[in-house]
Amino acid sequence: MRALTTLLAALAFAATAAAQTQPAKLGPAFEQETYGKLPGTTDKNGKAVPGATVTQFTLINKNNVVLKCIEYGAIITELRVPDKDGKFADVVLGFDKLDDYLKGHPYFGTNAGRVANRIANAKFTLEGKEYKLADNNAPHTLHGGKAGFDKKLWKGEASLTATGPSVKFSYVSPDGEEGYPGKLTVTVSYTLTDNNELVIDYRATTDKTTICNLAHHSYFNLAGHNAGPIAEHEAEFAAKNYTPGDETLIPTGKVAPVDGTPFDFTKKKAMGKDLEKAGGKPVGFDLNYVLDKGVTERPEFAARVTDPKSGRTLEVFTTEPGLQFYTGNFLDGTNVGKGGAAYKQHTAFCLEPQKFPDSVNKPEWKDKSNVVLKPGETYKQTTVYKFGVSK
Ligand code: BGC
């Protein structure tokens, strides 16, 4: 009798889960399926070359938390987490299909690279040689250039690891790609633990001295990807300092205290409280915090965000010294996302652990934010996004 009751409960649960577009399996588990096909090309003899298939992976943990990601850009397309009453919502912005990602978008769910954030005037000098980059955020370069890691086809491989279902994406960036020296061999893995943590691990090696600074770029809204303004989300950062920048968001090279500025999140504060005072064009937060902990071997606490209504919380832990906080200032409703959602200004936030922006051009930051990678060295980053609830 008890077996029957359990079976019926399991079936009912599976039916509800299916209604919420949850995968059929319960975790820890993973599934994979074809997501779409990249457009075909023609080779140098004019022969049609069919576009590559893009696989989607679904990771699910024992609490029914679901993460979906695709080989194109190693993009996280969906992340469903419970609220204080156990109700699930998808808390990341994104699209329903590959075509929408191909049309161009502001880095939803991507990993910015080979160098995240801005490099002033799209150039840098390394070992006495000047390198020119694409000025895709004129006059600067942004998030790896015209076709950064967000637009590359990665190779994904899923497995059940000791800490949870995981996907490891690999990509080899050729020497000279987007103007950067050295062939860079990169992996990024997403692991979903039973503690509702998304663990992101990056590794990269090079065959020539180069620069590397990767950053995860999901746009979060803890009330749900289509829930409107994030003004009431409360944030707290373990950062007493930030790197002030000019009006084009290039840091001056100074490290300044947040105390007495609108950027002070050392104590819990609603994101909307000082958002207008933060200035900027368009207005909102878009700056790099200097985490008090500096570079660490293991991920350490960086930030906590709470959505008081749903009770969902997000904590960020990282090995990185910097944290870019961005409140979706450039969103203007033209990106029509999942289920037809028009993503408007300030309806999501990004918390992007990374080295400080434009570090390659800031010799004064060499010790606290070194982006140079040499042959024989391994670039390593671990960042943890941990979801919870506060009642
Ligand atoms: C940057 C913003 C930029 C956005 C692009 C963020 O990481 O801080 O300035 O507009 O990425 O999506």
| Ligand 1 in reach of 106 Cβ (< 6 A) | yes
Question: What is residue 296's predicted lDDT score, i.e. its pLDDT?
Answer: 98
pLDDT at 87 exceeding the cut of 70: yes
Question: What is residue 27's predicted lDDT score, i.e. its pLDDT?
Answer: 84
Confidence of residue 23 (pLDDT cuts 50, 70, 90): low
Question: What is residue 2's predicted lDDT score, i.e. its pLDDT?
Answer: 47
| Ligand 1 in reach of 249 Cβ (< 6 A) | yes
Question: What is residue 136's predicted lDDT score, i.e. its pLDDT?
Answer: 98
Q: Are 374 and 209 in contact (CB under 8 A)?
A: yes
279 CA distance to ligand 1 middle (Å): 15
| Ligand 1 in reach of 326 Cβ (< 6 A) | yes
Question: Any residues with CB less than 8 A from the CB of 292 and at least 6 apart, and which?
Answer: 238, 239, 240, 241
Q: Which helix (H) or strand (E) holds 18?
A: helix 2-19
**DSSP code of residue 342:** B
Residue found by looking up tokens 């001295």 in the block: 209
191 CA distance to ligand 1 middle (Å): 25
Average pLDDT, the chain: 94
57 CA distance to ligand 1 middle (Å): 26
Helix, strand, or coil here: 376?
coil
Ligand 1, atom 9, residue with closest C-alpha: 286
Closest CA to 250 of 287, 213, 291, 295: 287
Question: What is residue 314's predicted lDDT score, i.e. its pLDDT?
Answer: 99
pLDDT at 25 exceeding the cut of 80: no
Confidence of residue 241 (pLDDT cuts 50, 70, 90): very high
Which of 105, 143, 347 should be mutated for ligand 1, with most atoms under 8 A from CB? 143
**Is-above-0.85 flag for pTM?**
yes
pLDDT at 150 exceeding the cut of 50: yes
Residues 156-160 have a mean pLDDT of 98
Ligand 1, atom 12, residue with closest C-alpha: 106
Pairing between β-strand 241-242 and β-strand 210-211 as defined by DSSP bridges: unpaired
Question: What is residue 26's predicted lDDT score, i.e. its pLDDT?
Answer: 81
Report the distance separating Cα 386 and Cα 115, nearest Å. 25
DSSP percent split of the chain into helix, strand, coil, nearest 5: 10, 40, 50
| Ligand 1 in reach of 325 Cβ (< 6 A) | no
Exposure string for 311-327, b = 16+ CB within 10 A, e = fewer: bbbbbbbbbbbbbbbbb
56 CA distance to ligand 1 middle (Å): 25
| Ligand 1 in reach of 324 Cβ (< 6 A) | yes
326 CA distance to ligand 1 middle (Å): 7
| Ligand 1 in reach of 107 Cβ (< 6 A) | yes
**DSSP string covering 69-114:** EESBTT-EEEEEEE-TTS-EEE-B---SSHHHHHT--S-TTEEE-S
| Ligand 1 in reach of 352 Cβ (< 6 A) | yes
Peptide bond just before 28 cis, omega within 30 deg: yes
Catalytic residues, which ones? Answer: 217, 352
Helix, strand, or coil here: 339?
helix
Nearest atom in ligand 1 to the alpha carbon of residue 287 is 8
| Ligand 1 in reach of 330 Cβ (< 6 A) | yes
Exposure string for 91-106, b = 16+ CB within 10 A, e = fewer: bbbbbeebebbbeebb
Question: What is residue 391's predicted lDDT score, i.e. its pLDDT?
Answer: 77
In the chain, what are the domains?
2-389 (2.70.98.10)
Report the distance separating Cα 369 and Cα 363, nearest Å. 10
Ligand 1, atom 6, residue with closest C-alpha: 326
Q: How far is CA 339 from CA 171, 225, 226, in A?
A: 30, 10, 9
| Residues forming beta bridges with residue 313, ordered by sequence position | 306, 388
Confidence of residue 341 (pLDDT cuts 50, 70, 90): very high
Confidence of residue 165 (pLDDT cuts 50, 70, 90): very high
Q: What is the pLDDT of residues 258-302, one digit of tens each?
A: 999 999 999 999 999 999 999 999 999 999 999 999 999 999 999
Q: What is the pLDDT of residues 177-226, one digit of tens each?
A: 999 999 999 999 999 999 999 999 999 999 999 999 999 999 999 999 99
Closest CA to 323 of 116, 95, 105, 20: 116
42 CA distance to ligand 1 middle (Å): 34
